[in-house]
Amino acid sequence: MEIVLSGIRPTGHLHLGNYFGALRNFTKMQHEHRCFFFIADLHALTTHPKSADFHDNVRNVLAEYLAAGLDPDVATIYVQSDVPEIAELYVLLNMLAYQGELERTASFKEKVRKQADNVNAGLLTYPVLMAADILIHRAGKVPVGKDQEQHLEMTRTFARRFNNLYGSEVFPEPAAFNFGGELIKIPGLDGSGKMGKSEGNGIFLIDDEKTVARKVMRAVTDSGPAHPHSEMSAPVRNIFTVLEVVASPDTVAHFRAQHDAGVIRYGDLKKQLAADIWRTIAPIHARIAEIKSDRDYLSRVTLHGAAKARESAQATLKEVKKAIGFKAF
Ligand code: TYM
């Protein structure tokens, strides 16, 4: 049985990118593997969220995880800060992470550009904390989107470095993966890059049918294929990328053929996309509000999750400390 670990920062509601990048097929996967799903609230602190919003954001992600079908009796669902062993491993791994490699990380360089007034040490060592999240349970598989690939590579480096330095085999080298095959990047429908919370282009699991339709109908396209076999423009390719994850292969093939023949009507394509997105998220959407309002249930889930996660984390930390040479008097 493989150990699988997936994490999401509580900076807003879950969108289609989170769902297909990090959660795809988890309802089945949680029964087939030992799965850990957590809310990376410590990571969220790197961007200084308002204290008044902080807890509510954690609650949103938790409710949306559960509404999406994660079963707390099967998988281990927890909040990162409820497991102090992660912070302890983070300190230990920081001794093995070098300034140069941290400064060269793509996500760090991007943050330096985006929040030049807040380049804190937590941003620099973000990949180390992420490695601690993964290695604390000795996870072998980590469902993530394409944007996290480099962080997984760094986790493997830190794991290998630890094992070599201390002559141990405490850590396996985890692989990034997506149950649908290749790692994916769900694009925004605004003709730009990826779908994201901060990009303002998200289609969220909490969006209702009308909102989904409105967002999809606004998607950027082009003036139509100039002639048969025209190459697809980037914004239209984005629409097809999203269609591919929500629609049947027949539907995708139908619209591809229409594009290829130069007769596609983007209005029809968008209507189909909106319908398929809504079909995907409707059952999740329907459960979110009720779960979010059940504070007793959320409290039980997090307490139970933290206990299970800490048990696993403590076992790893014990071996880590032994390998390093800590000894009791
Ligand atoms: P975060 O919170 O930005 O996103 C959570 C997960 O969703 C994926 N994702 C996407 N996948 C495909 N297309 C998109 N447009 C898209 N947008 C987001 C992300 O790749 C991610 O898998 N550092 C992580 C959180 C984290 C973590 C971990 C993940 C902390 N510790 C340990 C895995 C293991 C992050 O910021 O993801």
Q: What does the pLDDT read at residue 316?
A: 98
C-alpha dihedral over 189, 184, 56, 132, to 10 degrees?
A: -150
Question: How far is Cα of residue 106 from the mean position of the Cα atoms in its chain?
Answer: 17
61 lines ligand 1 (CB under 6 A): no
Question: How far is Cα of residue 150 from the mean position of the Cα atoms in its chain?
Answer: 14
Q: What does the pLDDT read at residue 199?
A: 81
Q: Tokens for 236?
A: 């239209």
Counting ligand 1 atoms within 8 A of each CB, the residue from 3, 138, 148 with the most, and so the one to mutate, is: 148
130 lines ligand 1 (CB under 6 A): yes
Strand locations in 103-166 (E): 141-143
Tell me the CA distances in angstroms from 76 to 67, 73, 229, 272, 319, one per residue in order: 15, 8, 49, 36, 21
Tell me the domains of the chain and their CATH numbers. Answer: 3-184+294-324 (3.40.50.620), 209-289 (1.10.240.10)
Counting ligand 1 atoms within 8 A of each CB, the residue from 3, 15, 18 with the most, and so the one to mutate, is: 18
Residue 66 contacts residue 37 (beta carbons within 8 Å): no
Bin 184: left if φ > 0, else alpha if -120 < ψ < 50, else beta.
beta
Residue 252's Cβ-count burial label (10 Å; 0-12, 13-18, 19+) is middle
In degrees, to the nearest 5, what angle opens at C-alpha 48 toward C-alphas 46 and 51? 130
197 is catalytic: yes
Low-confidence ranges of the chain (pLDDT < 70): none
* Closest C-alpha to 71, from 32, 38, 22, 31: 31
Q: pTM for this one?
A: 0.96
Residues 6+ apart with CB under 8 A from 18: 8, 145
Q: What does the pLDDT read at residue 20?
A: 95
Q: Which of 146, 197, 271, 321 is catalytic?
A: 197
- 131 vs 174: CA distance, rounded Å: 10
* Protein residue with least CA distance to atom 29, ligand 1: 7
Q: Which of 28, 50, 109, 111 is catalytic?
A: 111
Q: Which of 146, 185, 194, 308 is catalytic?
A: 194
